[in-house]
C-alpha cells in the first residue's frame, strides 16, 4: 500500500493521514495506473485525493525535421513532425506538424529546398516564429517517460533540436535524460538487424550492390506505404512502421537494443581490463562490411567520460605497436585517400556511450553472418591476442587523445553551442528570459557570466520579436544582416541557382522551386 500511496496526496501531512482519509472514501478508481481515492458527500464530488505511481507512463515520441540546409547550427528548420506512441507503437496522441518561419538574416540552401519542396515562402505563410516552434517541440519532448526516436536523429535531428533549444534559451540536453526520458535511433537498429539478425526483413540494395538503409528504400522493399518521402510526417509514419517490423521479425534483438540505448547498460558490457571483445555496428565502418566490426575496448577517453577508445580488430595492429602517439595522431586525422601507398589507417574509433551506439557481446555476430559480411573472425581473435600481449598500447592511445582534436572556434554565436555548459546563475537568467513577455524583454536588467548570452538574446529578439528593438538595436541588426547577406554572397547564390536551373531544365517542379528561391533572396537582400 505504501508503494502506491505517496507524496501525491498533498492534502494530508503523511502516509497515516492519507490511509485514514481513504478509509472514509466511498470509492476507489484506478485509471491509467493512477489510484484515485474519491470522497462523495450527498452524491456531490467534494475532494479527490490522487496518488500517482513513481514511474511515468513510458512512451515513444517519433519525430523528424525537414531543414533548409545540412548544418544543424547555421542552417534553419523548415518543418517538424512528431507523434507519440505507446510501447507497442500504437499512436496515442494527435500528430504535431509545424513549420518554422525563416529569419531575415538567412538564405536557404537550394539543394535542401529541392529535396523537401518547402520554399521559404511556404514556411513564412504556414509557419510560426522559431521561439514558438521551439516551445511546442520542447513541450512534446519533455513529457516524463518519453523516448525520443527518429531515423538518423542522433547525428542530425537531435543536433537540430539542441541548436534550436540553445538559440531559444532552453536547456539543450535535459529533455533527453530528465524525468526518465531517453533517445534512440532507428537507423542503427536497422543496420544492426541487417548485420546480426537479417531474417524476416527484405534488404534492398543500392546501385553499388550494398545494402541501402535509406528509409524510402526500406519501406518500398517491405511493402510499407511511404508516399511523399521527405515530408516530415510521412517519414515519421514510415519510421514507426519499420520499428514495428523489426520488433515483429527479431523481437529479442529489438529488446536488447532498446534496453542498451542507455549508457549505464552499455557500460556494463565494456570490460577494459580484459579488453573484452564486442560487436559494434556503425556507419563509420562502411557498407562493404555491413557497417560492422569486432572491437576491443582499450581505455576511457582521458577528457570525455562518455567516450571509450575502441580498436577495430580487423585493422592493422602494427600501426598501434610501431607508431608513437604523434605519428598516430597524424594518421588518425588523415583522410584515407591521402594516406601514402602501404600506409594503413589507424584502427581506432571513439565510441560515445551517450549517443546510443550499437554494442553487443562478440558472440552476437554468428559465424555465418561474419562470413556474409566478410569479417575474418580468426584474424580478429589473433589481433586481440596481440593487443593483450602489448598492454603499452593503452598508454599510447590515452596520450593520443589527451591532446584535443584540432578545432577552430567560431566567432558566430549561433555555432557555439558546444563551447561549454552554462553556469547555474546563467541558466536561472535564461529561465527569466523565457518567462518574460516579449514586450518586456527590453526592460530586463540581467547580468550574464557567459559571453554568448547577450548576443543570443539580441538575435532572439530581432528574429522573433523585431518590434521590441530600439532604433539603435535596429541599426545593429541591419549591420548584422549586411554581414550575412552581402552583395557577393547573393551573387554567388544567384549563380548557384542559375546552374541548378540549367541542370534541371525541363523539370517544372524543381525550376519553380529555384525561381521561388531567387525571388526570396532578391527580396531579402533588396
Which segments are annotated as binding site for Mg(2+)? 64, 66, 235
Please state the residue numbers annotated as binding site.
64, 66, 214, 235
Name, in order, each residue with C-beta under 8 angstroms of 489's C-beta and a sequence gap of 6 or more: 107
Start-to-end Cα distance in the chain: 70
B/e letters for 20-52, b = 16+ CB within 10 Å, e = fewer, are: ebbeebeeeeeeeeebbbbeeeeeeeeeebebb
d(CA 357, CA 310): 12
Q: Decide: 169 and 456 in contact? Cβ < 8 Å.
A: yes
d(CA 352, CA 266): 10
d(CA 78, CA 202): 32
B/e letters for 386-420, b = 16+ CB within 10 Å, e = fewer, are: ebeeeeebbebbbebbeeeeeeeeeeebbebbeee
**Contacts of the segment 217-223: beta carbons below 8 A, 24+ positions apart:** 218/190, 218/242
d(CA 5, CA 408): 55
d(CA 413, CA 460): 12
Please state the residue numbers annotated as binding site for substrate.
66, 214
Q: Cell 601514402 identifies what position?
A: 340
Strand 96-99 versus strand 146-150 pairing type? unpaired
Amino acid at each position: 500500500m505504501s508503494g502506491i500511496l505517496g507524496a501525491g496526496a498533498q492534502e494530508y501531512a503523511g502516509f497515516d493521514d492519507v490511509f485514514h482519509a481513504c478509509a472514509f472514501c466511498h470509492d476507489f478508481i484506478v485509471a491509467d495506473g493512477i489510484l484515485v481515492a474519491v470522497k462523495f458527500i450527498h452524491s456531490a464530488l467534494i475532494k479527490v485525493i490522487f496518488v500517482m505511481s513513481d514511474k511515468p507512463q513510458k512512451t515513444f515520441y517519433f519525430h523528424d525535421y525537414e531543414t533548409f540546409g545540412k548544418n544543424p547550427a547555421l542552417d534553419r528548420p523548415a518543418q517538424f513532425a512528431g507523434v507519440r506512441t505507446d510501447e507497442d507503437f500504437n499512436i496515442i496522441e494527435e500528430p504535431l506538424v509545424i513549420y518554422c518561419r525563416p529569419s531575415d538574416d538567412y538564405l536557404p540552401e537550394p539543394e535542401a529546398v529541392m529535396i523537401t519542396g518547402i520554399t521559404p515562402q511556404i514556411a513564412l505563410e504556414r509557419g510560426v516564429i522559431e521561439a514558438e516552434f521551439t516551445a511546442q517541440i520542447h513541450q512534446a519532448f519533455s513529457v516524463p517517460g518519453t523516448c525520443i526516436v527518429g531515423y538518423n536523429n542522433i547525428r542530425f535531428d537531435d543536433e537540430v533540436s539542441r541548436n534550436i533549444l540553445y538559440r531559444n534559451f532552453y536547456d539543450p540536453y535535459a529533455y533527453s535524460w530528465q524525468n526518465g526520458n531517453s533517445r534512440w535511433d532507428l537507423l542503427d537498429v536497422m543496420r544492426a538487424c541487417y548485420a546480426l539478425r537479417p531474417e524476416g526483413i527484405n534488404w534492398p540494395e543500392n546501385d553499388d550492390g550494398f545494402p541501402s538503409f535509406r528509409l524510402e528504400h526500406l519501406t518500398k522493399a517491405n511493402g510499407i506505404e511511404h508516399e511523399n518521402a521527405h515530408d516530415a510526417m510521412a517519414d515519421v509514419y514510415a519510421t514507426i512502421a519499420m520499428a514495428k517490423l523489426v520488433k515483429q521479425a527479431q523481437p529479442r534483438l529489438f529488446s536488447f537494443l532498446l534496453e542498451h540505448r542507455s549508457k549505464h547498460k552499455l557500460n556494463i558490457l565494456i570490460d577494459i581490463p580484459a579488453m573484452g571483445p564486442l560487436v559494434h555496428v556503425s556507419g563509420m565502418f562502411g557498407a562493404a562490411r555491413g557497417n560492422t566490426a569486432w572491437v576491443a575496448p582499450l581505455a576511457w577517453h582521458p577528457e570525455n567520460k562518455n567516450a571509450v577508445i575502441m580498436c577495430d580488430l580487423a585493422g592493422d595492429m602494427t600501426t598501434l605497436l610501431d607508431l608513437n602517439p604523434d605519428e598516430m595522431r597524424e594518421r588518425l586525422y588523415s583522410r584515407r585517400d591521402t594516406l601514402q601507398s602501404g600506409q594503413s589507417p589507424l584502427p581506432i574509433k571513439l565510441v560515445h556511450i551517450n549517443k546510443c551506439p550499437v554494442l553487443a557481446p562478440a558472440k552476437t555476430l554468428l559465424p555465418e553472418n561474419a562470413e556474409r559480411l566478410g569479417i575474418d573472425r580468426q584474424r580478429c581473435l589473433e589481433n586481440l591476442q596481440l593487443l593483450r600481449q602489448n598492454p603499452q598500447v593503452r598508454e599510447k592511445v590515452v596520450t593520443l587523445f589527451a591532446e584535443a582534436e584540432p578545432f577552430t572556434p567560431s566567432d558566430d554565436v549561433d555555432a557555439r553551442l558546444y563551447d561549454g555548459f552554462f553556469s547555474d546563475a546563467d541558466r536561472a537568467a535564461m529561465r527569466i528570459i523565457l518567462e518574460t513577455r516579449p514586450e518586456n524583454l527590453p526592460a530586463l536588467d540581467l547580468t550574464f557570466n557567459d559571453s554568448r548570452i547577450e548576443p543570443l538574446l539580441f538575435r532572439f529578439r530581432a528574429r522573433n520579436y523585431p518590434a521590441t528593438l530600439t532604433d539603435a538595436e535596429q541599426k545593429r541588426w541591419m549591420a548584422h544582416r549586411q554581414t550575412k547577406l552581402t552583395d557577393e554572397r547573393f551573387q554567388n547564390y544567384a549563380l548557384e541557382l542559375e546552374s541548378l536551373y540549367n541542370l534541371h531544365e525541363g523539370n517544372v517542379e524543381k525550376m519553380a522551386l529555384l525561381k521561388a528561391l531567387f525571388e526570396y533572396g532578391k527580396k531579402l537582400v533588396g
